[in-house]
Structure 1
Amino acid sequence: MESTTVGLKTVGETTLRGKARRDQSLEELREHIHRYYIPLGRQYMVLFPEGGFLHKRKEVSQRFAEKNNLPKLEYVSLPRADKNFNQNNERLLEVKSGNSVEWILDVTIAYPDRIPLHLTDIVCGIRPACTTHVHYRLYPSSEVPSDTEGMTQWLYDRFIEKEKILEEFYRTGQFPSKSNTPLVFRPVRQDNVRYLILHLFFIASTFIQIKFFCSLLGCFW
C-alpha cells in the first residue's frame, strides 16, 4: 500500500480461502509479495487475521475457543491462525537484499455504542457524525516468535489483549494504560472542504474521460 496525494493506492489483495485452498492462497500471496510488493518498494502491509466481520465470526470463534481451551471473546474474534498459516509465515515474508518487516502496528478500533461503521454509512453518509476511537501499539518484529506454536500464541495473546482493551473502553470510555505513563490522545478531525475538493476532482476527471472516449469513438463510428 502506498500513500498518494489523493489517498491510498494498493498493489493487490489476497484472501486466504478455506482449508481446501489455504496452501494455494498462501503461495499466491508469497508470489505477489516477491513479484510486486518488494520490487515496487512498498512500505506497508495490512493484515486482518480475524478473517471476517465480528457478527459473522463470533459464534464460530467461541466454538473454536471452547474446543481449544481458549477464552471466549465478546468484542473481537480469535484470529484464524491455524498451523498451516503460521508454518508459511516465514516463507511468505522471506525476502532478499536485507528487506524485512521491521515493525508491527497493532490497531484496535472502538465504535460508538459498539456499532461499527459500515461501508454504506461511509459512502452514503447516512449515519450521524460520530467519534471513532483508535488504539495503536507498536511491536518490533523481533518480539514475534519464529516457531509455529510461539507465533500462534503471540497472535492469540494480542487478540485477548484487544478484548481487555475494548472491555475497559466500553466500561469507562477510555483505553487502559499499561504503565504509569498516560496515553497520548491525538484527535483527528475530517476536513470537509478537502473532501469536497477531492470529490469534485474525481467527478470532473470522470466527466473528461467519458467525453474523451465518446469523441474517440465518434471518429471511428
Structure 2
Amino acid sequence: MAPHLHTARKLFWILMNSLLRFTFMFVNNCVAIPSYCLYLLVLQPLRVVDAPTFWYIEGVMFRWLLAMVASWGWCAGYTVTEWGDDVRPMSEDEAMVIVNHQSTGDVCTLMMCLQDKGTVVRKMMWLMDHVFKYTNFGVVSLIHGDFFIRQGKAHREKQLVYLKDHLDKYYYSRDRKWIVLFPEGGFLRKRRETSQSFAKKKDLPYLTHVTLPRLGATEIILKTLGPQQENGILGTEGNPPGQSIKAKGLQWVIDMTIAYPNARPMDIQTWIFGYRDPTVTHVHYRTYPIKDVPVESEALTDWLYQRFVEKEKLLAHFYKTGAFPPPDGQKELASRNMTLDNVWLLIVQTFAFASGYMWYSVLTHIYCWFF
C-alpha cells in the first residue's frame, strides 16, 4: 500500500507542478509578447528617424524574451554544460552557426546557452522551419527578422531565392552578427531513415546520431554574406575574435553539437511542463575561420559532410562515456557550466508583467474613451 501511496503522491505533485508551470507560462506569454509588439508599434517614428537605435531597442527586448524562455527551463533544473572552443570572444564578429537538430528543445537550449555570449542574442538571426511561424513566438521572430523556411523539393528552389532576398534586405540593415541554422533540415527521428537510405545509395557516410546535412541554405548564406572569394575559398585571413574589420562579411563558422543524456532529446513540452528530472544538456563548440571554408558546391558539400561525420563521432563518444572526446594531443577536454543570473531573470520577468499591466491599463482607458 505504501509504495502505491508514494507513487500517487509523486504523480499528483508532477501534475500540479505541470499545471502551475503551464499557467504561469501562458500568462507570461500573454503579457510579454503583446508588450513587445506594442512597444515597437509606439516606437515606429523612431524607426523612421533613427533606425539603428530602434533595432537596438528591439534587440534588447528580443533578448529579454528569449531569457524568459530560458528561465522556464532554468527553474526546472534544466542546465547546460559547454565544451570545446570558447565562442564568447567572437560575439561581435559575424558568424554562421550550424547546429545538429534532434527536437524542439534544441531551440530552447540555444536560447539558454547563448544568453551569456555578449550581444549575440539580440543581434542574431534564426533560420527555422516555417511551422514555428504559427507558434506563440512566431510574431516575435517575424518582427525580429528571422527567416522561416519551407522544407521539401516542391519549395526548395523558391525558398533559396527568398532566403537570399531576406539576407540582402535584413541582415546588415538590422546589424545582425550570428546567423543560426540547422543544416539537417528536420528532426533526427524524422530524417534518419531517409538519410541512411540516401547514404547507402550514394556511398556516403552512414550516420546514426545525426543525418546528412542539406547544402542549399548553407551555400546561400556563405555566398551572400561571406567575404570576396579567392580561388573558391572565402577570401579573408580572419581576424582575432572581437577585433573589428572594415569589410563586412562572415568571419567564422561555429559548429555546435547538442547532446542529451542517454540520447533522450529535450522537447518543448518537457521545457514547459517540467516533468523530467533536472537534466544537464551538453553543447560542444568548434570554430573555423571563414578562410578555411570552401564555397564551390562540391567542395562545400564535402566540407559540410565532414562536419557532420565529426558530430557523429562526438556524439557516439559522448553517449558511451558521458563526455566529449579531447582534441588530438590532449588527455581530456575541459567543460564549463553555463549559468544564468537569477536576479537578472527576476528583473526581466518583473518588467514583463509590469509592462503587461501598463498596456492593459492604457488600452482599457482608450477603449473607455471611444466606447
TM-score by length of 2: 0.54
Per-residue deviation, residues 44-83 of structure 1 (Å, max 9, x unmatched): 10011011111111111111111111122111111122xx
Cα distance between partner residues in 2 of 1:170 and 1:125: 23
Within the candidate set 194, 204, 208, 1:74 is matched to 208
Cα distance between partner residues in 2 of 1:94 and 1:134: 26
Aligned to 2:171: 37
Within the candidate set 86, 92, 109, 2:224 is matched to 92
Aligned to 2:21: none
Q: Does 1:109 align with 2:258?
A: yes
Q: Does 1:64 align with 2:198?
A: yes
How far apart are residue 87 of structure 1 and its match? 6.1
Q: Does 1:207 align with 2:339?
A: no
Within the candidate set 345, 348, 357, 1:195 is matched to 345
Cα distance between partner residues in 1 of 2:217 and 2:202: 17
Cα 1:86/1:218, change in 2 over 3 Å: closer
Q: Which range moves more in the overlay, 206-215 or 196-205?
A: 196-205
Cα distance between partner residues in 2 of 1:115 and 1:19: 30
Larger relative contact order (CA 8 Å, sep ≥ 6):
2
Q: Does 1:149 align with 2:281?
A: no
Counterpart AA for 2:188: L
Aligned to 2:276: 127
Q: How does 1:16-31 map to 2 (within 5 A)?
A: 16-31=150-165
How far apart are residue 193 of structure 1 and its match? 4.5
Aligned to 2:183: 49
Per-residue deviation, residues 94-127 of structure 1 (Å, max 9, x unmatched): 6798321110110001101111111122233232
Cα distance between partner residues in 1 of 2:252 and 2:218: 18
Q: Does 1:140 align with 2:289?
A: yes
Maintained 8 Å contact 1:112/1:131: yes
Maintained 8 Å contact 1:177/1:183: yes
Cα distance between partner residues in 1 of 2:338 and 2:221: 34
Counterpart AA for 2:194: V
CA RMSD, aligned part only? 2.4
How far apart are residue 15 of structure 1 and its match? 0.8
Counterpart AA for 2:224: L
SS of the equivalent of 2:147 reads coil
How far apart are residue 150 of structure 1 and its match? 0.5
Maintained 8 Å contact 1:103/1:139: yes
Q: Which range moves more in the overlay, 197-206 or 43-52?
A: 197-206
Unaligned runs of 5+ in 1: none
Aligned to 2:90: none
TM-score by length of 1: 0.88
Q: Which range moves more in the overlay, 33-42 or 4-13?
A: 4-13
Maintained 8 Å contact 1:29/1:92: no
Cα distance between partner residues in 2 of 1:30 and 1:95: 15
Aligned to 1:161: 310
